[in-house]
Amino acid sequence: MAEITEAGPTTALAKRLHRAARIDDSILAWRYTRGVKRGLVPTVVPFAGYGSTTWVRVLCRVVLGKPEEEQEPERSVRGWRSFTSIPVVSSTVTVRIGDIESRVVADRGGLVDAVVDADLAPGWQEISLSADGSEPIAAPVFIVDPSVRFGILSDIDDTVMVTALPRPFLAAWNTFVLDEHARTPVTGMAVMYDRIMRQHEGSPIIYLSTGAWNVAATLTRFLSRNLYPDGSILLTDWGPTPERIFRSGREHKRTNLLRLAQEFPDIEWLLVGDDGQHDEDLYGDFAANHPENVRAVAIRQLSPSEAVLAGGRSKAEEHAGDSPPWFYAPDGAGLLEQLSRHGID
């Protein structure tokens, strides 16, 4: 049995926690105690992971829930409801993959993001996750064949889903107000992704966003309802960190881009984003430092009204002639046409 620890802070580290983090920990401890007294039990919320034929990146969250809701059917809920769940700090999760069993430990937010040994065939597979006192639950993972040389990494807000809100209100609105029925897909993007993935069968698609893990289920349902290809979603944990009050969305994206380059050094990624956030800067830096891992960059151009709300947008000509190539269009059809002309379809 493999032992993998991603435990919460040690005593020494706890003393160095930012004041906001210490306050947050105190509130979580109080909520946890009240939840246990009400009869709530640890429940694993699985997220789609990914990996190779020898390892898997396990993604899940452990929260307190009613025993009868451990296998609660999928339903539509507004984002704010997902933030009322009580995370189980430093909970031990047992990961079973065939005959291989590993134990991992959740962090301060009840999140598990760990790599474990595996022996799985390429394609979509299922692994088993269970917390102390909970029944095992299946979690999907996409296993990348060692021969695969292409993948898609996509932003979400204003890339696959229309936001049309001022940036200061974007996260709050998408997280606390809307459900997936009220979100609008970007025209043609699902068709573009589907066509490209059909031409590159067995390739991974990963949706990378600065949104909170609390809304992973909502985003997954949105992608499914609008016929986007199935893929792993990489989100972040809201709340204070040991060093600062707010987490850095840019750092979250940058870190995961670098991680993917290390995990799949032979894959060239099609990086897809929009020109209203920081995608161009992040993708540009990554392409400059890791050109061998970038097939092309596709940027969805915001409409004039969306650009005003987003605080402006960059100029496409800034990347004219760059290598790897950059493509700009207002929708999926325009991007697909350009990608097709360059043999990326």
Q: Give pLDDT tens digits for 194-222.
A: 999 999 999 999 999 988 888 888 889 89
Q: Quick one: pLDDT at residue 5?
A: 39
Q: Quick one: pLDDT at residue 256?
A: 97
Same domain? For 178 and 319 the reply is yes
Kindly state the average pLDDT of the residues 271-285.
91
Same domain? For 84 and 192 the reply is no
Write out the DSSP string of 8-75.
---HHHHHTS-HHHHHHHHHHHHHHHHHHHTT-EEEEEEEEEEE-SSEEEEEEEEEEE-GGGTTPPP-
Distances from the Cα of 112 to the Cα of 45, 103, 128, 286, angstroms: 10, 11, 14, 26
Same domain? For 47 and 101 the reply is yes
Q: Which of 143, 164, 192 is the last residue of a domain?
A: 143
Same domain? For 108 and 172 the reply is no
Q: Quick one: pLDDT at residue 157?
A: 87
Same domain? For 52 and 76 the reply is yes
Same domain? For 196 and 133 the reply is no
Report the percent of the chain where pLDDT is more than 90: 52
Q: Is the pLDDT of residue 343 over 50?
A: yes
First to last CA, the chain: 43
How far apart CA 255 and CA 245 sit, in angstroms, is 19
How far apart CA 331 and CA 338 sit, in angstroms, is 11
Same domain? For 7 and 134 the reply is yes
Same domain? For 167 and 288 the reply is yes
Which parts of the chain are beta strand (E)? 2-3, 41-51, 55-65, 86-87, 92-97, 100-105, 111-117, 123-131, 137-143, 150-154, 161-162, 184-185, 205-212, 232-236, 268-274, 294-300, 326-329
Q: Is the pLDDT of residue 32 over 70?
A: no
Q: Which of 143, 167, 194 is the last residue of a domain?
A: 143
pLDDT per residue over 247-263, tens digit each?
567 899 999 999 999 99
pTM for the full model? 0.84
How far apart CA 180 and CA 276 sit, in angstroms, is 22
- Tokens 């021969």, located at residue: 147
Q: How does strand 55-65 pair with strand 86-87?
A: antiparallel
pLDDT per residue over 86-143, tens digit each?
888 889 999 999 999 999 999 888 999 999 999 999 999 999 999 987 889 999 999 9
How far apart CA 339 and CA 299 sit, in angstroms, is 11
Considering only CA atoms, which of 293, 295, 227 is closest in space to residue 257? 293
* 274 or 4, higher pLDDT: 274
Range of weakest confidence among 7-11, 176-180, 216-220: 7-11
Q: How does strand 294-300 pair with strand 326-329?
A: parallel
Q: Quick one: pLDDT at residue 11?
A: 36
Q: How many CA atoms, within 13 angstroms, populate the side-chain half-sphere of residue 134?
A: 32
Kindly state the average pLDDT of the residues 333-337.
97
Distances from the Cα of 98 to the Cα of 71, 125, 129, 298, angstroms: 22, 11, 12, 39
Two tokens, residue 271: 């990086």
Instruction: Tell me the pLDDT band of 70, cut-offs 50, 70 and 90.
Output: very low
- Which residue type, as a one-letter code, is found at position 160? V
User: How many structural domains comprise the chain?
Assistant: 2
Same domain? For 166 and 33 the reply is no
Instruction: Tell me the pLDDT band of 10, cut-offs 50, 70 and 90.
Output: very low
Q: Is the pLDDT of residue 174 over 60?
A: no
* 215 or 267, higher pLDDT: 267
Same domain? For 187 and 137 the reply is no
Q: Is the pLDDT of residue 8 over 50?
A: no
Kindly state the average pLDDT of the residues 266-275.
96
Structural domain including 90 reads 2-143
Same domain? For 306 and 201 the reply is yes
Same domain? For 199 and 133 the reply is no
Q: Quick one: pLDDT at residue 345?
A: 78
208 Cα distance to chain centroid = 5
Q: Is the pLDDT of residue 6 over 60?
A: no
Residue 227 exposed, middle or buried by CB count within 10 Å (0-12, 13-18, 19+): exposed
Mean pLDDT for the chain overall:
82
Q: Which of 143, 169, 185 is the last residue of a domain?
A: 143
Here the CATH number for the domain that contains residue 285 is 3.40.50.1000
